[in-house]
């Protein structure tokens, strides 16, 4: 079984400072991991994904995440926050044993607030 | 990626009625899914929409309440039946392509039940 825990429900940063959104996962198989972003009244957009290649994954809008198997973590970072980064962020795990289908399990979400 | 659209984008309905939500993808996809996002909550998978056969429902969701159709590789519908205020949520469809396990999401349908 797979599960995802986002350690902070809310994160507040000042514009121009670094962003860290924390995510821990549990999986019985070698998982794929994703970060999605949801802006207010908008659908979900894929930020980045890890699928057993490079452990440091670069995504859109300057975000990146590092897969650490020993820590079962996949934290999302950005060196410098922008006001437009204010949104809800979801860490997502997918198991696909035997190519049986790509079931996604979502974390509880982290609301990122960016102060001017 | 592809363009995924949903209709309606939002609706306000009376309790006891039903609403059908449509999801259209602009290219053929392998898999389509329906999710519910209750107010202030994360996403929960309702079911996998299978082309040409009955949908596969997750625990806590049943076909009588959430009938799903998928007549072809680009289109699916979700019906929320006999609605109550507890059904007020955002309903999202998603799609994925064979060999890739990320999903791409539609914009969602915001449902309010009075």
B111/A41: higher pLDDT? B111
In a domain, A11, yes or no: yes
What CATH number is associated with residue A21? 2.60.40.10
pLDDT the model gives residue A29: 77
pLDDT at A97 over 60: no
Percentage of residues in chain A having pLDDT higher than 70: 94
CA B29 to CA A63: how far, in whole Å?
28
| B32-78 per-position pLDDT tens digit | 999 999 998 999 999 999 888 889 999 999 999 999 999 999 999 99
Residues B71-94 pLDDT 10s = 999 999 999 999 999 999 999 999
Domain count, chain A: 1
The span from the CA of B44 to the CA of A42, in Å, is: 17
Joined together, the tokens standing for residue A53 give 């290649």
Q: What is the per-residue pLDDT for A43?
A: 85
User: Which range (A74-78, A99-103, B7-11, B22-26) has the least confidence?
Assistant: A99-103
Higher per-residue confidence, A43 vs B18: B18
What pLDDT, on a 0 to 100 scale, did the predictor assign at position B99? 63
Q: What are phi and psi of A51, to 5 degrees?
A: -135, 50
Nearest to B42 among A32, A94, A106 (CB): A106
pLDDT score recorded for residue B100: 65
Cis (ω within 30 of 0) for the bond into B8? yes
The CATH number of the structural domain formed by B4-113 is 2.60.40.10
Residue in chain A lying closest to B30 (CA):
A101
How far is Cα B11 from Cα A39, in angstroms, rounded to an integer?
20
Establish if A85 belongs to a structural domain.
no
Statement: residue A99 has pLDDT above 70: no
Q: Domain range spanning residue A36?
A: 1-52
Minimal C-alpha gap between A100 and chain B (Å): 11
Domain membership of residue A78 (yes or no) is no
User: Does A16 map to a domain?
Assistant: yes
Read off the pLDDT of residues A5-34 as tens digits, 9 standing for 90 and up: 999 999 999 999 999 999 999 987 778 899
Choose from B36, B38, B103 for mutation: most chain A CBs within 10 A. Answer: B103
Residues of B in contact with A42 (CB under 8 A): 107
């Amino acid at each position: 079984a797979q599960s995802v825990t986002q350690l902070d429900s809310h994160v507040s940063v000042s514009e121009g400072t670094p962003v860290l959104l924390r995510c821990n996962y549990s999986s019985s198989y070698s998982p794929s991991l994703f970060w999605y972003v949801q802006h207010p009244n908008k659908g979900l957009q894929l930020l980045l994904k890890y699928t057993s290649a490079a452990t440091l994954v670069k995504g859109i809008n300057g975000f990146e995440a590092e897969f650490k198997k020993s820590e079962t973590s996949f934290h999302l970072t950005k060196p410098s926050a922008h006001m437009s980064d204010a949104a809800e962020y979801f860490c997502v795990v997918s198991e696909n044993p035997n190519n049986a289908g790509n079931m996604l399990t979502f974390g509880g979400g982290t609301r990122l607030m960016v102060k001017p | 990626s592809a363009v995924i659209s949903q209709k309606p984008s939002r609706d306000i309905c009376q309790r006891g009625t039903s609403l059908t939500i449509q999801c259209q993808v602009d290219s053929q996809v392998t898999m389509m899914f329906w999710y519910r996002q209750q107010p202030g909550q994360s996403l929960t998978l309702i079911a996998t929409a299978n082309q040409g056969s009955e949908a596969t429902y997750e625990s806590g969701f049943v076909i009588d309440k959430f009938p799903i159709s998928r007549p072809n590789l680009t289109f699916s519908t979700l019906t929320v039946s006999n609605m109550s205020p507890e059904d007020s949520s955002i309903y999202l469809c998603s799609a994925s392509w064979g060999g890739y396990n990320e999903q791409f999401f539609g914009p969602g349908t915001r449902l309010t039940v009075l």
